Amino acid sequence: MKRLDWNALDGAGRREALARPAQSRSDELRAGVAQIIAAVRERGDPALLELSAKYDRCTLRAIEVDEAEFAAAEASLDEVLKNAIREAAGRIELFHRAAAAQPVAVDTAPGVRVERMLRPIGRVGLYVPAGSAPLPSTALMLGLPAQIAGCREVVLCSPARADGRCDEAVLYAARITGVHRVFKLGGAQAIAAMAYGTASVPRCDKLFGPGNAWVTEAKLQVSSDPDGAAIDMPAGPSEVLVIADAAASPAFVAADLLSQAEHGPDSQVILLSPSGELLDQVAVEVERQRAGLPRAAIAAQALAQSRLIAVASLAQAVEVSNRYAPEHLILQVAEPRALLEGIESAGSVFLGEWTPESVGDYCSGSNHVLPTYGYARSYSGVSVASYQKQISVQEVSADGLRNIGPCTAILAQAEQLEAHRRAVTMRLAALDTVIMEAPDAEKLA
Active site residue 328: yes
The 8-class DSSP code of residue 54 comes to I
DSSP calls for 80-131: HHHHHHHHHHHHHHHHHHHHS---EEEEEETTEEEEEEEEE-SEEEEE---S
CATH number, position 43: 3.40.50.1980
Q: In terms of domains, do 149 and 269 share one?
A: no
> CA 19: distance to chain centroid?
21
pLDDT at 73: 96
pLDDT at 441: 46
State pLDDT tens for residues 15-53.
999 999 876 668 899 999 999 999 999 999 999 999 999
Q: In terms of domains, do 217 and 259 share one?
A: no
Residue 355 lies in a domain: yes
CATH number, position 411: 1.20.5
Residue 354 lies in a domain: yes
Exposed / middle / buried, residue 160 (Cβ in 10 Å: 0-12, 13-18, 19+): buried
Q: In terms of domains, do 264 and 353 share one?
A: yes
Q: In terms of domains, do 10 and 69 share one?
A: no
Question: Phi and psi (nearest 5°) for 256?
Answer: -65, -40
Residue 299 above 70 pLDDT?
yes
Residues annotated as binding site for Zn(2+)?
A: 260, 263, 361, 420
Q: In terms of domains, do 190 and 298 share one?
A: no
Residues 6+ apart with CB under 8 A from 367: 92, 96, 141, 145, 348, 381, 382, 383
Residues 6+ apart with CB under 8 A from 441: 434, 435
pLDDT at 440: 55
Average pLDDT (105-128) is 98
Q: In 3D, which of 322, 309, 328, 317 has the Cα closest to residue 238?
A: 328
pLDDT at 437: 45
pLDDT at 432: 66
> What three-state secondary structure class fits 240?
strand
Residue 379 lies in a domain: no
Confidence of residue 204 (pLDDT cuts 50, 70, 90): very high
Between these two residues, 222 and 212, which has the higher pLDDT value? 222
Q: Per the residue annotation, which of 285, 327, 353, 357 is the catalytic one?
A: 327
Confidence of residue 438 (pLDDT cuts 50, 70, 90): very low
Q: In terms of domains, do 254 and 333 share one?
A: yes
> What percentage of residues in the chain have a pLDDT greater than 70?
96
Report the DSSP beta bridge partners of residue 107.
113
Residue 376 lies in a domain: no
Length of the chain: 445
Q: In terms of domains, do 34 and 168 share one?
A: yes
Q: In 3D, which of 185, 168, 166 has the Cα closest to residue 126?
A: 185
Residues annotated as binding site?
A: 127, 189, 212, 238, 260, 263, 328, 361, 415, 420
Residue 335 lies in a domain: yes
- List the domain range (segments joined by +) for residue 402: 397-444
Average pLDDT (224-231) is 96
Residue 204 lies in a domain: yes
pLDDT at 236: 81
Report the DSSP beta bridge partners of residue 113.
107, 395
Residue 134 lies in a domain: yes
Distance CA 198, CA 227 (A): 14
Average pLDDT (395-416) is 97
Active site residue 319: no
Residue 97 above 90 pLDDT?
yes
pLDDT at 134: 82
Q: In terms of domains, do 288 and 153 share one?
A: no
Q: In 3D, which of 365, 342, 41 has the Cα closest to residue 195?
A: 41
pLDDT at 295: 94
State pLDDT tens for residues 319-346.
999 999 999 999 999 999 999 999 999 9
Residues 6+ apart with CB under 8 A from 53: 59, 60
pLDDT mean across residues, the chain: 94
Distance CA 137, CA 121 (A): 22
Average pLDDT (169-197) is 97
Average pLDDT (156-176) is 96
State pLDDT tens for residues 236-271.
889 999 999 999 999 999 999 999 999 989 899 999
Q: In terms of domains, do 37 and 174 share one?
A: yes
pLDDT at 436: 45
Distances in Å between the alpha carbon of 355 and those of 252, 283, 342?
10, 21, 19
pLDDT at 435: 45
Q: In terms of domains, do 160 and 180 share one?
A: yes
Q: In terms of domains, do 229 and 240 share one?
A: no
Residue 225 lies in a domain: yes
Residues 6+ apart with CB under 8 A from 414: none
Domain count, the chain: 3
Residues annotated as binding site for NAD(+)?
A: 127, 189, 212
pLDDT at 443: 52
Confidence of residue 234 (pLDDT cuts 50, 70, 90): confident
Q: Per the residue annotation, which of 328, 353, 357, 368 is the catalytic one?
A: 328
pLDDT at 439: 47
Q: In terms of domains, do 265 and 329 share one?
A: yes
C-alpha torsion sign, points 375, 37, 208, 82: negative
